[in-house]
């Protein structure tokens, strides 16, 4: 241990601590319980990569090739990584940024971190934070406790054997909190570029430099992340994939991978873009590609069985073969129904599993101007309907609606499929159009869907989630 320490490159503070603690170990009786604790501590000091770093790959064209090969799309993230490397190459030393990739499940956040490590030729470390509720998991226990251990950050760096790995903090939005402490507050020191050069682990009792580590956090949502923690990270949003992107991902990555996993060769099975598109539209409903990967695995299992049993089959899978391989279709995209009556408008809805169309129906009955809303609507959606009606009342003259019609009509707005909760501000323009159509007795133009929040001034605010609201082409709109 002493010989190993002589060749170790480490800070003066760590070297002094080692010499002091080894002196204590020499004076200690090997039979006492504290002897093994002291041995474990000294071994940790020796095995930690204090000033040991892997050499970065500064061939930026090669890095871009690796990232493009491993992941289709995700241009914003790739550009950010290349910018960081370019500055690192020119400056020689730079505090690593703390990136947070936010997006729906299955879009490739974690695998992107693995690709970044491969492209940079750095070590890769992944730490899942889902359900973590003990602060000691981050900062470690004090040495005086029985069974004390360093935190998982220090343990991971010890395993990596380098002080500058790509460190994935998975599911940062699912960190728990209880009487044992608040891990998300402990992460503030880890994920602050100004503080993490002097990270303090309770077990180590020394400051450790984390500023060379490239931390990449992943999250499905920003709403549950502590605001102070959110402020320390650079947020990069990864939206869901469109149909065309999913087809390309399946052709380039998923199908070849599943084919190899099932012991098949390229001559055993061929999947066309048409077949993959049918699988996406009728057997999956998601923003990412996990479910698509499982369905492709189902096709490969079916082919593998036929190859193994030497049964005749079509090498080129056809759309009509999918019923036999995957069973009946699971999802039917909302078929557009051309509505010639007034009072009906079509909206675009965002869901966590992709886009859907939403029919909003309104009708007038004789009454005293009351507004009734049905269809399992949330508070925000109810407010949109009230705002839309107020706008119509304020501009009734311009819209050609008489005051008598407004005063002597009860208005009923209904959104079908009442079993499904619906909320969000983006239905505002659709509500306004449906109500205006009902009052003026003019049908809305067919094959037109809309999205956007409405204000009392009649402004339509900018909308988000356009890719998620993308409607499958087979919906015949």
22: its two tokens: 């080894």
Q: Which of 130, 64, 72, 74 is nearest to 99 (CA)?
A: 74
- The residues pairing with 365 across neighbouring beta strands, listed in sequence order, are 410
8: its two tokens: 């170790």
* C-alpha span between 81 and 460 (Å, rounded): 35
* C-alpha span between 418 and 116 (Å, rounded): 45
Q: Which of 330, 269, 245 is nearest to 295 (CA)?
A: 330
CA torsion through residues 41, 184, 232, 119, sign: positive
Question: Is 391 in a helix, a strand, or coil?
Answer: helix
Q: H/E element holding 307? A: helix 290-308
CA torsion through residues 289, 292, 296, 298, sign: positive
- Residue 32 makes CB contacts below 8 A (sequence gap 6+) with none
Beta strands in 276-370 (DSSP E): 344-351, 354-366
- Residue 141 makes CB contacts below 8 A (sequence gap 6+) with 147, 148, 149, 202, 203
- Phi/psi region, residue 181 (left: phi>0; alpha: psi -120 to 50; beta: rest), is left
Q: Is there a catalytic annotation at residue 143?
A: no
- As to burial, measured by CB atoms within 10 angstroms (0-12 exposed, 13-18 middle, 19+ buried), residue 195 is middle
The answer to whether the CB of 385 falls within 8 A of the CB of 429 is no
Helices 109-120 and 60-70 cross at an angle (nearest 10°) of: 150
- As to burial, measured by CB atoms within 10 angstroms (0-12 exposed, 13-18 middle, 19+ buried), residue 46 is middle
Residue with tokens 């077949």: 275
Q: How far apart are the first and last CA of the chain?
A: 73
- Residue 258 makes CB contacts below 8 A (sequence gap 6+) with 293, 296, 297, 299, 300
378: its two tokens: 């949330």
User: Which position among 115, 287, 426, 437 bears the catalytic label?
Assistant: 426
Q: Is there a catalytic annotation at residue 305?
A: no
- As to burial, measured by CB atoms within 10 angstroms (0-12 exposed, 13-18 middle, 19+ buried), residue 164 is buried
The residues that are catalytic are: 426, 469
């Amino acid at each position: 241990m002493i010989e190993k320490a002589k060749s170790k490159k480490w800070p003066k503070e760590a070297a002094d601590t080692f010499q002091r603690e080894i002196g204590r170990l020499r004076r200690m009786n090997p039979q006492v319980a504290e002897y093994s604790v002291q041995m474990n501590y000294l071994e940790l000091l020796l095995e930690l990569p204090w000033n040991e770093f892997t050499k970065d790959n500064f061939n930026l064209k090669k890095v871009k090739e690796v990232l493009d090969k491993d992941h289709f799309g995700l241009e914003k993230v790739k550009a950010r990584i290349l910018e960081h490397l370019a500055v690192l190459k020119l400056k020689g030393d730079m505090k690593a940024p703390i990136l947070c990739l936010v997006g729906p499940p299955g879009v490739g956040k974690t695998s992107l971190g693995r690709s970044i490590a491969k492209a940079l030729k750095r070590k890769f470390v992944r730490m899942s934070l889902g359900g973590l509720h003990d602060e000691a998991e981050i900062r470690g226990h004090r040495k005086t406790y029985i069974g004390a251990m360093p935190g998982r950050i220090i343990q991971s760096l010890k395993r990596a054997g380098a002080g500058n790995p790509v460190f994935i903090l998975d599911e940062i939005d699912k960190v728990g909190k209880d009487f044992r402490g608040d891990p998300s507050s402990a992460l503030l020191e880890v994920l602050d570029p100004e503080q993490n050069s002097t990270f303090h682990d309770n077990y180590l009792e020394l400051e450790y430099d984390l500023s060379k580590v490239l931390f990449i956090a992943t999250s499905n949502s920003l709403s549950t992340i502590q605001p102070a923690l959110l402020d320390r990270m650079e947020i990069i949003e990864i939206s869901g994939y469109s149909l065309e992107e999913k087809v390309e991902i399946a052709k380039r990555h998923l199908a070849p991978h599943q084919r190899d996993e099932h012991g098949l060769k390229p001559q055993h099975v061929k999947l066309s873009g048409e077949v993959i598109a049918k699988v996406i539209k009728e057997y999956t409903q998601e923003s990412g590609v996990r479910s698509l990967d499982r369905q492709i695995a189902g096709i490969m299992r079916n082919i593998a069985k036929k190859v193994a049993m030497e049964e005749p089959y079509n090498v080129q899978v056809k759309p009509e073969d999918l019923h036999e391989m995957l069973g009946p279709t699971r999802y039917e995209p909302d078929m557009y129904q051309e509505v010639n009556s007034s009072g009906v408008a079509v909206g675009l809805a965002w869901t966590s599993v992709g886009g859907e169309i939403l029919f909003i129906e309104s009708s007038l009955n004789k009454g005293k101007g009351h507004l009734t809303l049905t269809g399992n609507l949330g508070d925000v959606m109810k407010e949109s309907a009230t705002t839309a009606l107020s706008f119509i009342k304020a501009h009734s003259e311009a819209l050609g609606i008489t005051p008598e019609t407004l005063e002597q009509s009860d208005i009923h707005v209904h959104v079908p499929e009442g079993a499904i909760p619906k909320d969000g501000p983006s239905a505002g323009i659709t509500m306004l159009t449906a109500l205006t159509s009902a009052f003026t007795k003019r049908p809305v133009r067919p094959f037109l869907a809309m999205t956007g929040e409405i204000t009392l001034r009649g402004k339509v605010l900018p909308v988000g989630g356009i890719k998620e609201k993308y409607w499958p082409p087979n919906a015949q709109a």
